[in-house]
Amino acid sequence: MVGRDAAARIRILAAWWLCFVCAPAVGAATEIAVPYVPSTEVAVEEMLRLAEVRASDVVMDLGSGDGRIVIAAARYFGAQGIGIEIDPELVETARRNAEQAGVADRVRFIAQDVLKADVSKATVVTMYLLTPLIERLKPKLLAELKPGTRIVAHDFGFKDWLPDRQVTISKTILLYIVPAQVAGRWRLTADLRDGARTYEFELKQEYQRVSGGARVPGGYLPLFEAKLAGDRIRFAIVDDGRSYHFEGRADSLVMSGTVRSGIGSALTERRWRAERVLPIAEGS
């Protein structure tokens, strides 16, 4: 007898086969076939746990099925929930389930193609979809979601975007944090221990991974330990024999925060600010 997990995997493999055999030509509007395979209770709990859902969140489930993820977010965390599901019958089932769970006032379900959904209000996005559809969703999610939004994928993630965290507890759950767009040239002014200093930085970005540095007279100062988590950025440079550790927040035009230097009783903490010099290049 085939167990539920094995049966689910068989349905997923069949859908994968359909994706490749029946794949639309580039630019075609044909939708990617996705089977309805509900997440297990363990997977639902671990997805919401990894996303660190709070009462202030708007949790949007793409391909919401019977509504179990957004219902759990509302029921156990007090969050608002939105389910996007293309099957009208499943939408009606989800609405009935929300009524039975006593959270109908906190969740809503929309019969819609996930590729056409307005995701801009979400602070947490969950999805249990196949990779071809996830890849088609990626540019939309990066363009419409605010930096810091958490995307949680069940089993299938993005091809070239490394997760910020990944756990395997019965199922594999992947967490992606939408990064601010910081690629490009910046003029950074910092109030350092030896006085004000201005740097011309050029940053390269691949999702949450950042590299680059500043050109200065007689040399180049590379970034060390550069990290981007949502709109939070940090990096270090070494200038004139001293290390400076920058932390702050970033949006598409401005970054600002604190810069620390020294240790112990010699530790100093001052302010820094950077403004974009050149706009984001196409495809950054």
CATH of domain 36-177: 3.40.50.150
pLDDT digits over 188-246, tens only? 999 998 889 999 999 999 999 999 999 988 899 999 999 999 999 999 999 999 999 99
Place 31 in a pLDDT band, splitting at 50, 70 and 90: low
CA 28, 29, 34: angle at the middle one, nearest 5? 115
> What is the residue extent of each domain of the chain?
36-177, 184-276
- Number of continuous H segments (helices) and E segments (strands) in the chain: 5, 16
State CA 194 to chain mean position distance.
39
Least Cα distance to 233 among 198, 195, 259 occurs for: 259
Q: How large a percentage of the chain has pLDDT more than 70?
A: 86
Count of other CB atoms within 10 angstroms of residue 163? 20
Looking at 23-32, 65-74, 121-130, 274-283, which range is the least confident one? 23-32
Helix ranges restricted to H, 52-163: 68-77, 88-101, 131-144
Does the domain at 184-276 match CATH 1.20.950.20? Answer given as: no
Which residue did the predictor score with more confidence, 222 or 36?
Answer: 222
What is the chain's Cα-based Rg? 22
In this predicted structure, what is the pLDDT of residue 217? 87
Backbone angles phi, psi at 86, to 5 degrees: -80, -20
pLDDT digits over 104-138, tens only? 999 999 999 999 999 999 999 999 999 999 999 99
